[in-house]
Structures are given as C-alpha cells and as structure tokens.
C-alpha cells in the first residue's frame, strides 16, 4: 500500500517551499520518521520525514519545484523491502574514483554511486566534494544524524593534502584534461535558493519602505580586551565557553534599548509597539545565506548564557539545523561584519525591526587621550535606524550609551 508523503506545516505565515534536495532515491529503504527530502523555505531548510517504514516508490514533484503546505511530494510503499544503505559496496580508493563518485552522486545519489554508507549532503557540501575531489563515503559526518558538513569536507581535503591519511594507490592512466583556450571566459548560472531570494526581497523592501539613516561612532576596546584577558581562563573553566565580544555588545545594547525604548520598538500599521524586553537577532552565516536566529530576553541573561546561546546558533546554522521557531520575532539586531575584516558599513534593518547595530574590525589607531596621542584598539560602530519611528537624537543617544558601556564595562554591571 502506497502512503503519501506531504509537505508539513512550515511555520507561522509560511505557506510554500522549494524542493532543495532529495535525501533518498526511489527504491531506497526508509524508516518511519527518516528524512527523505529537504525543503527550502523563506528562512530555513526543513526536512520532510517518511510517515511509515518501507520503500520510497516515487517522487511526485521535481527538484527545485515550489510546493505548498499539504502537497504530496512522494509515495512510500509500506512494509516493502528496498536497497539498504547498510549493505557496503566496493569502495573506490584513488583520487579519480573519488571524483567520479562525487560526480555520480551529484547526478543520482543512489547506493552504487556512493560506494558504501550513504552520506546525505546539502548543495554546499556537494560543491565542496566536487571542488576538492574527496570521496564522501570515507568522511565521518559531524552534522545532524551523521550528515556531512562543508567543514567535514574541507578538513578531509586538508588532511589528504598534508598526507595525514594513508596514501591512495596511484590512479589508473587517463587522458589529461585539455587546457582551456587562452583568453577563454566562462560563465555559470546557478538558481538562487529560496532563502537567498527572500533575503533579497526583504532587504530591498526595507530600503524602499523605511526611512533609513545610519549614525556612526568609534569605540575604544581597551577595557573589554583587558577584561577578557584577565578572566578568559576562569570563565571558560566555569562555563565551558569562551568569553567573546558579542556578549559585551549584547549587554551594552540591552542597556541602551532600555533607556531609549524607541530603538527597540516597531511600527505596526498606524501604531508604534514598544517592548519591555529585548529579543536580540544575531546575524550568522549559514550554507544558504545569512540567517538571524533570536536570543530571547537577552536583557535578563548572564554573559555566559549569551555566549552559549550564540555559539549554539552558530553551530546549528552551519549544520542546517535551525528551526522556524529559532528565527521568529526579534526586536533588535547585531551584525558583526568585523569577523570578515570590514572597517565600516551601513547595515540594513531587519523588518519589522527599526534598528540594527553593525560591528566592525578592531584596529590600532592613534587617538587623543588626556591631551596625549596614544595608540588604542578602536572599532567603528554603526547604528542604522528607521527615521519614521526613531529621531536622530534617540539614535545618537542609544549608540553613545553602547559606546560608553563598552569603554567602561562596569556600567553594565551597575546598570548605568
């Protein structure tokens, strides 16, 4: 008896998704609740499990097709027996075999192409496998349910290049690829993921609807750097997490938003909604684009709780494990372009929020202190805000409070 596999409820206000990846192929054995497909929504990737144990009979939609909640995407023959990923096949061990295996997997990821245990891979992981010519069947996945991550592939490629793993047998002779013609130029067309399309629409919409303005300030990081250096070892020993800069800026932002509530407010229709809490959206990189999971009630959290929450989001974002609930809400955003080397930027707000704080790289610069020129570790801060709801005086005041809290962290402990 064939059982239909339907698109599950995707989250609040999300009605459709794009079929991003098939995790199983027709003829494969599947267990009840085992993921068989990955759908890309506006915010995160959602895995679709099989409702019963059996054999995947067929797909009813195409890869890349847009599907609505409740749509049938596949059928599973309940109780039937099919190909099992637990039955090992002869593995190809040389470099050319690894590349061939990866290419075959890109086209049709069935058991024969995988040459052994069948790792499921996201598009980003597939590209990494092809680029580095590694055999994905020999890599131990660290993602959810043992799935491969891009970091797993890069680590395997590095290990292979450094000779840490056993040397592979010499590949069989094959004709060398023809060199590219001199001056040849190539183009590649890659369809935008649903998440990337949504990011583009939301950011462009923010520019068109909001009255965006950015105010800047610079911040002396000496006190925070000294505090981290003095307490990093005991902090890590007690809490099991490193003391980073983000917890300082999160606490500083919470302090400023309490004093200047307009920066933490939102426009809904013809009303302004003020919040007596701070739900902080933290921009992190994921394989399919930038995502902003929310740390809730961050104004009530300790430094350690903030660091642990942010670290968990970063890890789950890389593994593609963030959920809709993780992304819901948020009253203010912090985006740290400094980790990529940015000196200064004008971040765009994350609607319906009204402001975003941009952090940048720390750079030694000469500054005047008590009439003397000294070298200090400085960072530019940027606060972009919606001028429809936030006046310049309020934005400048909020950013000044953040700056002062970072330059004198004691202010955060005594609520000044």
Question: Catalytic residue at 275?
Answer: no
User: 10 Å Cβ neighbour count for 243?
Assistant: 22
Q: What is the 3-state secondary structure (H, E, C) of 342-385?
A: CCCCCCCCCCCCCEEEEECCCEEEEEEECCEEEEEEEEEEEEEE
Question: Catalytic residue at 391?
Answer: yes
Alpha carbon distance, N-terminus to C-terminus of the chain: 67
Q: What is the 3-state secondary structure (H, E, C) of the chain?
A: CEEEEECCCCCCCCCEEEEEEECCCCCEEECCCCEEEEEECCCCEEEEECCCCEEEEEECCCCCCEEECCCEEEEEEECCCCECCCCCCCCCCCHHHHHHHHHHHHHCCCHHHHCCCCCCCCHHHHHHHHHHCCCHHHCCCCCHHHCCCHHHHHHHHHHHHHCCCCCCCCCCCCCCCCCCCCCCCCCCCCCCCHHHHHHHHHHHHHHHHCCEEEEEEEEECHHHHHHHHHHHHHHHHHHCCCCCHHHHHHHHHHHHHHHCHHHHCEEECCEEECCCCCCEEECEEECCEEECCEECCHHHCCHHHHHHHHHHHHHHHHCCCCCHHHHCCCCEEEEEHHHHCCCCCCCCCCCCCCEEEEECCCEEEEEEECCEEEEEEEEEEEEEEECCCCCHHHHHHHHHHHHHHHHCCHHHHCCC
User: Rounded to 5 degrees, what are φ and ψ at 373?
Assistant: -85, 120
User: Rounded to 5 degrees, what are φ and ψ at 143?
Assistant: -80, -170
Of 152, 387, 408, 415, the catalytic one is 387
Q: Round to whole Å and give the CA distance between 395 and 341.
A: 25
Residue that the structure tokens 């990093």 belong to:
232
Q: Which residues are catalytic?
A: 387, 391
């Amino acid at each position: 008896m064939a059982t239909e596999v339907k698109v599950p409820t995707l989250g609040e206000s999300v009605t459709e998704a794009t079929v991003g990846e098939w995790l199983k192929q027709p003829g494969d054995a599947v267990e009840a609740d085992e993921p068989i497909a990955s759908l890309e929504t506006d915010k995160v990737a959602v895995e679709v499990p099989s409702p019963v144990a059996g054999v995947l009979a067929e797909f009813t939609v195409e890869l890349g097709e847009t599907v609505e909640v409740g749509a049938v995407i596949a059928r599973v023959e309940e109780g039937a027996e099919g190909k099992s990923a637990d039955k090992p096949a002869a593995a190809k061990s040389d470099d050319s075999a690894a590349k061939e295996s990866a290419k075959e997997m890109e086209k049709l990821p069935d058991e024969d192409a995988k040459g052994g245990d069948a790792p499921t891979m996201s598009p980003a992981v597939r590209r990494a496998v092809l680029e580095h010519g590694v055999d994905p069947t020999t890599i131990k996945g660290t993602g959810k349910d043992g799935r491969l991550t891009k970091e797993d592939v890069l680590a395997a490629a590095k290990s292979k290049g450094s000779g840490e793993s056993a040397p592979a047998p010499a590949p069989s002779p094959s004709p060398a690829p023809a060199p590219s013609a001199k001056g040849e130029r190539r183009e590649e067309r890659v369809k935008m993921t649903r998440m990337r399309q949504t990011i583009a629409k939301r950011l462009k919409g923010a520019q068109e609807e909001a009255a965006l303005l950015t105010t800047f300030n610079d911040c002396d990081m000496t006190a925070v750097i000294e505090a981290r250096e003095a307490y990093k070892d005991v902090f890590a020993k007690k809490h099991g997490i490193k003391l980073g800069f983000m917890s300082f800026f999160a606490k500083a932002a919470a302090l400023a938003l309490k004093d200047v509530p307009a920066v933490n407010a939102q426009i809904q229709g013809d009303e302004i909604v003020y919040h007596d809490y701070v739900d902080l959206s933290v921009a992190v990189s994921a394989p399919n684009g930038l995502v902003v999971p929310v740390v809730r009630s961050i104004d009530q959290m300790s430094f350690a709780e903030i660091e642990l929450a942010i670290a968990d989001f970063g890890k789950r974002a890389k593994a593609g494990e963030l959920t809709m609930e993780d992304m819901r809400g948020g009253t203010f955003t912090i985006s740290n372009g400094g980790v990529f080397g940015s000196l200064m930027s004008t971040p765009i707000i994350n609607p319906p929020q009204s402001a975003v704080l941009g952090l940048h790289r720390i750079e030694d610069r000469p500054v005047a202190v008590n009439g003397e020129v000294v070298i200090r570790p400085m960072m530019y801060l940027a606060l972009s805000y919606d001028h429809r709801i936030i006046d310049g005086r309020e934005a400048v005041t909020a950013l000044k409070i953040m700056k002062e809290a970072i330059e004198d962290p004691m202010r955060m402990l005594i609520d000044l």
